[in-house]
Amino acid sequence: MSIVRTEALTKVYGVASQPIYALNEVNLAVDEGEFLAIMGPSGSGKSTLLYLLGGLDRPTSGSVRLRESDISALDDDALSRLRRTSLGFVFQFFNLVPVLSARENVAMPLILDGVRRVDALKRADDALARVGLADRGAHRPSELSGGEQQRVALARALVAQPAVVLADEPTGNLDSRSSDEMVQVLRQTVDAWGQTLILVTHDPRVAAYADRIVFLKDGKIVDDNRLKGQGSAEQIREQLNIMALG
Amino acid sequence: MSVKHTLLALLYQQPMHGYELGKQLNLVVSAEWDVKPGQIASTLTRLRDANLVDYEIEETDDAPDRKVYHITEEGRRELEGWYLSPEVRQYRLGDAFYIKFVLSLVGGPVSPELVLRTQRRELFQQLHEVTELSRQADPRTQLPWILLLESAIMHLEADLRWIEMCEARLPDLKHYTPPKPQPKRRGRPRRQRTKPRQAQELKPVEE
Amino acid sequence: MTAKTNSFGTKTWQMTLMALRYLSGRKLRTVLTTLAIVFGVALIFAMNLVLPGIIDAFNQSMASVTGADLTVTNVAGGSFDPGPVLERIQATDGVQAATGILFRQFTLPERDEGDVLGDLKEIELVGVDPATVNDVSRLVMHEGRFLEPGERGSAVISTSAAALAPRLQLGTDFSLVTASGLQTFTVVGLFTSDSVLAVPQFILTLPDAQAALDQPGLINAVEVLLKPGADRDDVAAAIERGLGDNFTPADNATLTALPAMDVAFAMFNLFGALALFLGAFLIFNTFRTVVIERRRDLGMLRAIGATRRQITQTILIEGAIQGVGGTLIGLLLGYGLAVGMLAAMEPIMHEFIAIDLEMHYSLSAFAIPMILGPAVVLAASYWPARSAGKMSPLEALRPVPLAGMRHAARWSVIAGGVCVVVAIALLVSGSSGAIAGALLFLVGMVIAAPGLVLPAARLFGPLVTLWFAREGDLSRGNVARQPGRAAITASTLMIGVATVVMMAALVNSMMGLASDLTRETFASDVLVVPQSVAVYNNVLGAGEGLAEQIRALPEVETVATLRPASTSTDGSPLAVLGIDPAVYAQVSSIQFIEGDADEAYAALRTGRNAIVTALAQKMLGLDVGDDFVMETAEGPQTYHVVAVAHDVLTFKTSSAVISQANLAADFHTSEDVMLMINLVPGADKTAALADVQAALAGYPQFTAHLSSEYGDDLIETSMGATRLFYFVAALILIPAGLGLLNTLTINVLERTREIGMVRAVGGSRSQVRRMVTGEALLLGIFGAAMGVLSGVAISYGVITAFSMIGWELPYTFPAAGIVAALVIGVLLALSAGILPARSAAKLDIIRALQYE
């Protein structure tokens, strides 16, 4: 069963006489535990789609259903509550509150939700351990590397055990090594904990980790590519031989 | 690929007999590069003829005598020369997909979009698989293997980027009409001028 | 979900923690903005500490003299014949006993050091009837005995008097100024006063007091002891019924708060309010910047599930922390300021009204700034906080939208322009809306400011380019890029500069008027004046004898005297001056605004006619030809207004000038507080002055001066007083400077990357410094220009408003003030630019380029 589903999701910007379709009747269903990458050229509407999925923006028409309930119908407060309980976000930039320590940042959604500070911080520590940063909790964001900051952001996205984690170019600002680490951690959350993960990226290397790649162009899905499990090593070796030996 | 220089490089480390060379070759370079023992033997013979290696007979009690090869002074120079000459990767001008794509532009039963999309899908599939393999490889023991996989990943990425660029330029490419064969002129054909002109005709596409 | 316990506490605590960390993360800015609040609170707190003290000093005489249950006085505060009044009071139900007293609070003249009266300044002389006073009063004897009936030359003093004059002990003889010269009394007893702060009292027998105060046979209050169980209000009402309208059991008749003081208080409060307004501006500006700066943080918080309210809360909590912190520091600073102000004001105040100033620790002195400080901050941060809450998470994740800026700017100019036009109309109409017009002008300028930034940058840009040839354009661009912030900064400076210009204009006008009046008023040759000329009530004058003595001097041709009384008309306080119409015109020239001088003087001689001051004309609605009723010791009396005129002594009060004959008849007073002396033509002025001074030997409360010198002295003293206003006006500039510093610092912080780039492409340190300085200069010129405009408008409005209440001030264009304000504004801007320019120039290129 799909955990997130959009129905004829449409987002129009600009004036009525000259509408710009950021999204045009997009139908997309994401299964539980799926790692979905959304790709497409800039302006294709991939970020818009992610924002609509996360309830950060409201669709012009159509609906987003999270676990079969229409989130487009919720008011702002209800959406806020939904975001802190059922959704997790990772952005490209400015991910952490600079004046709070890593664990306080991670605990933020719980604290906003009214969980006791002690409990929230304990769960934050668990989440940090999951992304391999158990020992960095006390540090301020400025004391962490870019890759570590992004993993803290992931921990924050995971801490409330959300239905879906949404990531917008989470590696866009990282060097390739940190980028690899980040994607591996993302992959791991899907493999080990069955986390549903939707990620927008322009980086094919990042997308290659996903289970499924959806291509957007001009506000429409032009390709939906379910990557078949893991290819046989033998077959690949053969291909590589051809390449390596020219 | 030069089996000749590979053998020279291995013999540079220490003198070896033919069987040892075969084993060493697979261990150092890649388990995937299958070089047959016969090929090693024939290559060694050619190397000796060229006076790049020589051998001494090693006598053993229970087996036939083995030829232990070592590199000569001339072989050393040859090896140095090899190391110092850069490898030029052949540009894949005859790339099969390129031909398929260009043909689809001119007109065919399948749209160039679909051709690109199909190819991208395949490339992503490969990228996904190679990435998966590299994720599973142990960086401590399989580093050369990982290096090779990464080379593949990077090439796939380059291919994907090229596909993306093709896609972005598709609207322009659709207006591209291949040059018509020029009617033969009298006198000497002026090759020097026709070539740049062809390049010029392609240029607007880049803008 | 998880158990949500104590959710409010956790969230608020986390928000507070975050707010604290944000604040400490930007220490410089936090300090700067908090300083603005500190400053406003300090000013208001200081005012509240000092002003009530001054008012109290004026009102101290209001307290019951001997501590009886009820005090009955004449509604005009005048003295009266005791007989019938006492009888009637004693006959009233509920009255146990009653006794008549004659009391008067006055300032002792300056004495030599070592005088037995020590540090006593203000004393209250009380005449009692020893036979009956003990039935009523609750004086507790500390030492010695009380007065005996029929005793003369003895005094009982309060312990508070003895505290200030330690040598006044049982049996000590001392000389006291009286209306008939110095008199000697002996201390026979000390009584315990209510508190050491109470006005020192000297109790004499009634006949002694009547002689000392030149009120033979009269009393001015009846003290009443109620029967046990009698209701105070009932008895008071019964007494009032029995005595008629002339008498009142309350002591409001003696309330003589001077209108001039009211105006001064209003001015000081205006300053405090302006300072706080500036503080609010600064905070508003800062929080707006904070919200923009933290847009992404806030958007991210929204994205991870913070509600609008929670976001608004974080900003408000930050505001609250600054508000409370700033207020607390402000209270401390305010205390210091109050101490400093008292020290600065003491000599001036003493010169004028001879009052000891004290800090006044009232609940409201603490409560007002403590409520106002945080409230202003919360109010100022509310809008930015709300706009932060309104931000959609997406908005926060996108780059700053610049569209709509010009659109908004145009509207701001239109709205501001409308305000200014209406304001000018109000100002020119000269109606009572002038003050409103002045304020509207200011508001209009503030509203229009964002739209004026671009044109101003274009207009003044070349000026800056003159100075900083290459960097000028960059500076201009930087200013124009953030019109909102530039506008608020310029507005802050504008208010400061406007205040200075307003003060300059006002002081100019007032001094102009005062010096004109002074010279005309003191047209006589020699003046005999009490030490404090502004408040006659506190002066113990002289009886007829002094004038006679001086009149007898060979060089003296004419002596005119001035006799004061205070009363009320229609519930409003009115000062009354008694003159001798026959001679007054020869020694003084009151400025006649309406009516003819000769006719007026002639009229004064004939019946109950009065010349009223312009202030009285405006405040009380008295015009030439009107009749009005004054409360007098003889009951309400109808006077007829024959002219409107004023002089330096009366122009800032509601006063009525009547003949001394009427004053004696209606107010039972014939005490001279000022003598104006004309000499025989050709007489030696210095010799005459020496003779007059010799005649004053027994009257230490008076000094004699050559009128010309005295006038100059007076003008100089007034100048001294205006210095205080300048001082406070200068204080207003401090938050304006802080605002500038704040904006420039934030600008530099925000443009760190850009500055790094300028340096990377080859800009030198000094060029970066000049760029920021140029920006400061541009803001300074812009703000100062706006400030001058609104300063002129406000001063015009205020002066128009003053004329509404009767101070006909000629409007003097404050040219010098404008130049000073411009210079101050620009200097302020430049000095505010020093630090940010330095820090910008010091930026490390690589770090700056990496700055987020």
Lowest mean pLDDT segment, chosen from B57-61, C111-115, C771-775: C111-115
Q: How far is CA C796 from CA C76, C220, C278, C502, in A?
A: 37, 45, 22, 8
Q: Do the Cβ atoms of C656 and C630 come closer than 8 Å?
A: yes
Judged against a pLDDT cut of 70, whether residue C559 lies above it is answered with: yes
Distance, first Cα to last Cα, chain A = 45
How do C221-226 and C247-248 pair as beta strands? Answer: unpaired
Q: Which of C4, C298, C304 to mutate to test the interface with A (most CBs of A within 10 A)?
A: C304
Instruction: Note the helical H segments in C257-307.
Output: 259-293, 295-303
Q: Do the Cβ atoms of A96 and A149 come closer than 8 Å?
A: yes
Give the chains touching B; criterion: ≥3 Cβ pairs < 8 Å.
A
Q: Do the Cβ atoms of A208 and B131 come closer than 8 Å?
A: yes
Judged against a pLDDT cut of 50, whether residue C401 lies above it is answered with: no
DSSP state of C109: P
What pLDDT was estimated at residue C402?
42
**A182-187: which pairs have CB atoms within 8 A and are 24 or more residues apart?**
A182/A147, A182/A150, A182/A151, A182/A154, A183/A209, A184/A209, A184/B135, A185/A131, A185/A132, A185/A151, A185/A154, A186/A35, A186/A154, A187/A35, A187/B135
CATH class of B3-84: mainly alpha
Tokens of B130: 């190679």
CA quadruple B113, B118, B122, B128: dihedral sign:
positive
pLDDT band at A200 (very low <50, low <70, confident <90, very high): very high
Which residue of chain C has the CA closest to A89? Answer: C304
**Closest alpha carbon to C520 in C590, C600, C606, C593:** C590
Distance CA A149, CA A130 (A): 14
Distance CA A192, CA C431 (A): 81
Distance from CA of C281 to the nearest CA of A (A): 26
- Residues of A whose CB is below 8 A from B132: 230-231
Judged against a pLDDT cut of 60, whether residue C251 lies above it is answered with: no
Q: How far is CA A55 from CA A49, A72, A77, C576, C616, in A?
A: 10, 7, 11, 78, 70
Q: Do the Cβ atoms of C245 and C636 come closer than 8 Å?
A: yes
Task: Tell me which residue in A97, A98, A112 faces C305 most closely, judged by beta carbons.
Answer: A112
Give the chains touching A; criterion: ≥3 Cβ pairs < 8 Å.
B, C
The amino acid occupying position C353 is I
What pLDDT was estimated at residue A122?
93
β-pair partners for C122: C107
CATH architecture, domain defined by A2-245: 3-Layer(aba) Sandwich (3.40)
The amino acid occupying position C250 is A
Interchain CB contact of A117 with C (< 8 Å): yes
Interchain CB contact of A187 with B (< 8 Å): yes
CA quadruple C175, C177, C183, C189: dihedral sign:
negative
Distance CA C302, CA C308 (A): 8
Judged against a pLDDT cut of 60, whether residue C7 lies above it is answered with: no
> C564: part of which helix (H) or strand (E)?
strand C556-569
β-pair partners for C17: none
Tell me which of C787 and C647 has the higher pLDDT.
Answer: C787
Tell me which of B72 and C178 has the higher pLDDT.
Answer: B72
pLDDT band at B203 (very low <50, low <70, confident <90, very high): very low
**Given an 8 Å threshold on Cβ–Cβ distance, is B135 in contact with A184?**
yes
Q: Is C587 helix (H, G, I), strand (E, B) or coil?
A: helix
Q: Is C627 helix (H, G, I), strand (E, B) or coil?
A: strand
**Given an 8 Å threshold on Cβ–Cβ distance, is C304 in contact with A119?**
no
Distance CA B79, CA B69 (A): 15
Angle between the C308-353 and C707-750 helix axes, to the nearest 10 degrees? 160
Q: Tens digits of per-residue pLDDT, C25-69? A: 777 667 767 777 787 788 778 777 777 666 655 544 334 444 456
Q: Which of A46, A202, A211, A223 to mutate to test the interface with B (most CBs of B within 10 A)?
A: A223
CA A143 from chain centre, in angstroms, equals: 24
What pLDDT was estimated at residue C6?
47
CA C652 from chain centre, in angstroms, equals: 14
What pLDDT was estimated at residue C259?
45
Lowest mean pLDDT segment, chosen from A111-120, A148-157, A228-237, C710-719: A228-237
Q: What is the mean pLDDT of chain C?
A: 74
The owner of tokens 């399948």 is B110
Angle between the C363-390 and C259-293 helix axes, to the nearest 10 degrees? 30
Distance CA A185, CA A173 (A): 16
Q: Tens digits of per-residue pLDDT, C632-678? A: 777 778 888 888 887 766 666 678 888 888 888 887 777 777 777 87
Torsion of CA C387, C390, C394, C395, to 10 degrees: -30
Q: What average pLDDT does this structure show over C184-209?
A: 76
- Residues of C whose CB is below 8 A from A157: 304
Distance CA A155, CA A144 (A): 14
What pLDDT was estimated at residue A31?
92
C785 phi and psi, to 5 degrees? -65, -45
The three-point CA angle C3-C7-C8 to 5° equals 170
DSSP state of A18: S
DSSP state of C219: B
Residue ranges covered by each domain of chain A: 2-245
> A188: part of which helix (H) or strand (E)?
helix A176-193
How do B66-71 and B16-17 pair as beta strands? Answer: antiparallel
Judged against a pLDDT cut of 80, whether residue C733 lies above it is answered with: no
Phi-psi region of C15 (alpha: psi -120 to 50; beta: other; left: phi over 0): alpha
The owner of tokens 């030696």 is C684
What pLDDT was estimated at residue C102?
82
Q: How many Cβ atoms from other residues are within 10 Å of residue C119's Cβ?
A: 13
Tell me which of B204 and C375 has the higher pLDDT.
Answer: C375
What pLDDT was estimated at residue B200?
44
- Residues of A whose CB is below 8 A from C5: 114, 116
Judged against a pLDDT cut of 70, whether residue C366 lies above it is answered with: yes
What pLDDT was estimated at residue A128?
94
Q: Tens digits of per-residue pLDDT, C520-538? A: 666 677 777 765 544 445 5
What pLDDT was estimated at residue B196?
46
Which residue of chain A has the CA closest to C314? Answer: A112
C208 phi and psi, to 5 degrees? -60, -45
Tell me which of C826 and C489 has the higher pLDDT.
Answer: C826
Distance from CA of B21 to the nearest CA of A (A): 20
The three-point CA angle C544-C550-C556 to 5° equals 135
Q: How many Cβ atoms from other residues are within 10 Å of residue C650's Cβ?
A: 24
Judged against a pLDDT cut of 90, whether residue A165 lies above it is answered with: yes
Tell me which of A194 and C79 has the higher pLDDT.
Answer: A194
Q: Tens digits of per-residue pLDDT, C412-425? A: 788 888 888 888 88
Distance, first Cα to last Cα, chain C = 36
Residue ranges covered by each domain of chain B: 3-84, 96-178
Q: How many Cβ atoms from other residues are within 10 Å of residue C61's Cβ?
A: 21
How do A35-39 and B53-58 pair as beta strands? Answer: unpaired
Tell me which of B90 and A65 has the higher pLDDT.
Answer: A65
Q: Tens digits of per-residue pLDDT, A48-88? A: 899 899 888 889 999 999 988 888 888 888 888 888 888 88
Q: Tens digits of per-residue pLDDT, C85-126? A: 778 887 877 787 888 888 777 777 777 767 777 777 777 788
pLDDT band at C851 (very low <50, low <70, confident <90, very high): low
**Given an 8 Å threshold on Cβ–Cβ distance, is C305 in contact with A94?**
no
Distance CA A116, CA A124 (A): 12
CA C788 from chain centre, in angstroms, equals: 24
Q: Tens digits of per-residue pLDDT, C800-815? A: 766 665 556 666 677 7
pLDDT band at C77 (very low <50, low <70, confident <90, very high): low
Distance CA C291, CA C505 (A): 40
Distance from CA of A139 to the nearest CA of C (A): 14
Q: How far is CA B117 from CA A46, A207, A221, A223, C727, in A?
A: 18, 15, 12, 7, 79
pLDDT band at C371 (very low <50, low <70, confident <90, very high): confident
pLDDT band at C250 (very low <50, low <70, confident <90, very high): low
Judged on CB neighbours under 10 Å (0-12, 13-18, 19+), B36 is: exposed
What pLDDT was estimated at residue A79?
85
Share of chain B above pLDDT 70, in %: 80
Q: Is A44 helix (H, G, I), strand (E, B) or coil?
A: coil
pLDDT band at A151 (very low <50, low <70, confident <90, very high): very high
Task: Tell me which residue in C10, C25, C301 faces A98 most closely, judged by beta carbons.
Answer: C25
Q: Do the Cβ atoms of C468 and C715 come closer than 8 Å?
A: no
Tell me which of C261 and A188 has the higher pLDDT.
Answer: A188
Interchain CB contact of C401 with A (< 8 Å): no
